Structure 1
Amino acid sequence: MPRSRAQTRERLLAAALDVFAEEGFGRSTVEQVCERAGFTRGAFYSNFDSLDELFLAMWGQRSQAMLDGIRDAVAAAEAAADAEPFDLDQGAARILAAIPVEDRWYRITAEFTAHALRNPALKSVMAAREAAIQATILPIVDSALARAGRRITDPQALGRALVAVHDGTSVQVLMEPGDPQIVSARTELFVCVLRNFSENSSPSENK
């Protein structure tokens, strides 16, 4: 992609994030995004077919950044474990710290999810992307669990449980920002899920 077009695309994505957060996805228009970015409708449609496509591109960017952050967090936890036994609680805390819970992004995704639920084709796209993210995360989690002497027993169930806990606790964190007990409980729930959907690697310890 030519540099100028890539820059235009990035400006549109940044502008859309602000517009969606301020107006709500359902009330936002292409014109508002273009005005915020300082471009014409032609510039928009040379990069995106619709606001739906723009949101999915935005989601893809943020998902990639999240995955990179999780990889870095696990690598840091594994590096620390070279000097001492891998601690599952500390590892989970590192991973969660790499998954930001942002008020405006949560509101945007919640609104877009409601929008997608009314559109079967879009709902299928979102479900496929969620599945792809889970498929990417699970090997990372599996590596971390292996360092803790554990192995996943049901990958699909673990992936779904992790998403459910993330979504549920994100609301709690946003409703009571700055409460250390909420953050601590979030970490404890993730560790509980990891333990419940994994077992000790040593067969003798599983008897």
Structure 2
Amino acid sequence: MSTTAPRRVTARRARTRRRMLDAALQVFAEEGFGRSTVEQVCERAGFTRGAFYSNFASLDELFLAMWEERSERMLEDLREALAEVTAASPDQALRAALGAIPVDDAWYRVTAEFTAHALRNPSLRRVMAAREQAVLDTVLPVVVATLARLGRRVPEVTALGRALVAVHDGTAVQVLLEPGAEEPRRRREELFLTVLNAYSTPIAEEAP
């Protein structure tokens, strides 16, 4: 009985894929996802259409690969930022977490445009929703564990997750509209802290 071995990812192939992803982010941010073409990405990366299609079936697939990569990096940074949080106060833990989730102008523009594109495509919308939920399912246990180390418990984890996403999405726009201004960032921190306190309660000390 014969089996088909998975396609080996060579160093050269990995470099090609990396250059395609980097070039695509630049093109999408400059041109807009809906106006970008495979040819533009290839020209920016210095490759042919053949090189593109040997790595990605479409621009949609390329974006999803980019999104998954950035999500994994963000989750790793978040875990590292919160791993040592023990005796810190909630606001110190929050600052550590927000430092691991930067508000990026170019990435925000690209994701906003791709989300609008996905909303017009039911199958793509389902893919995006599933991936967003997968990220949230990974982030929430880290947040809940950190709050527990700070002496707080979360009765409704799902509700906390939805509230955190709403604050992140809403305040990111405000921060980007006023680059360099401290007030939007301060309000962002305050809103996150308010949500964390509202959706968690102090862990009662056990009676002697």
User: TM-score if structure 2 supplies the norm length?
Assistant: 0.92
Quote the Cα distance in structure 2 between the aligned partners of 1:204 and 1:191. 26
Quote the Cα distance in structure 2 between the aligned partners of 1:49 and 1:160. 32
Quote the Cα distance in structure 2 between the aligned partners of 1:23 and 1:183. 28
Counterpart of 1:16 (choices 3, 21, 24) is 24
**Paired position in structure 2 for 1:63:** 71
Quote the Cα distance in structure 2 between the aligned partners of 1:76 and 1:44. 41
Q: Aligned pair 1:39/2:37, yes or no?
A: no
**CA apart distance, 1:203:** 6.8
**Paired position in structure 2 for 1:28:** 36
**Paired position in structure 2 for 1:77:** 85
**Paired position in structure 1 for 2:176:** 174
**CA apart distance, 1:204:** 7.5
Q: Aligned pair 1:160/2:168, yes or no?
A: no
Partner amino acid for 1:127?
A: A
**Paired position in structure 1 for 2:107:** 105
Q: Which runs of 5+ in 2 are unaligned?
A: 1-8
Partner amino acid for 2:16?
A: T
Quote the Cα distance in structure 2 between the aligned partners of 1:153 and 1:65. 28
Higher relative helix content: 1
Quote the Cα distance in structure 2 between the aligned partners of 1:203 and 1:196. 20
**CA apart distance, 1:177:** 1.3
**Paired position in structure 2 for 1:127:** 129
Q: Aligned pair 1:52/2:54, yes or no?
A: no
**Paired position in structure 2 for 1:186:** 188
**Paired position in structure 2 for 1:138:** 140
Quote the Cα distance in structure 2 between the aligned partners of 1:189 and 1:110. 22
**CA apart distance, 1:14:** 0.5
1:176-196 Cα deviation digits (max 9, x unpaired): 111212111111111111111
**CA apart distance, 1:93:** 1.0
Question: What RMSD in Å do the two structures reach over aligned CA positions?
Answer: 1.3
What is the aligned residue count? 199
1:60-97 Cα deviation digits (max 9, x unpaired): 1111111111111102433xx2xxxx300111111011
> Against the structure 1 CA distance between its residues 204 and 184, is the aligned structure 2 distance closer, same or farther, given a 3 Å change threshold?
farther
**Paired position in structure 2 for 1:92:** 94
Quote the Cα distance in structure 1 between the aligned partners of 2:73 and 2:48. 29
Could you list the structure 1 runs, at least 4 aligned residues long, displaced by more than 4 angstroms after superposition.
none
**Paired position in structure 1 for 2:4:** none
Partner amino acid for 1:148?
A: L
Quote the Cα distance in structure 1 between the aligned partners of 2:157 and 2:145. 13
**Paired position in structure 2 for 1:147:** 149
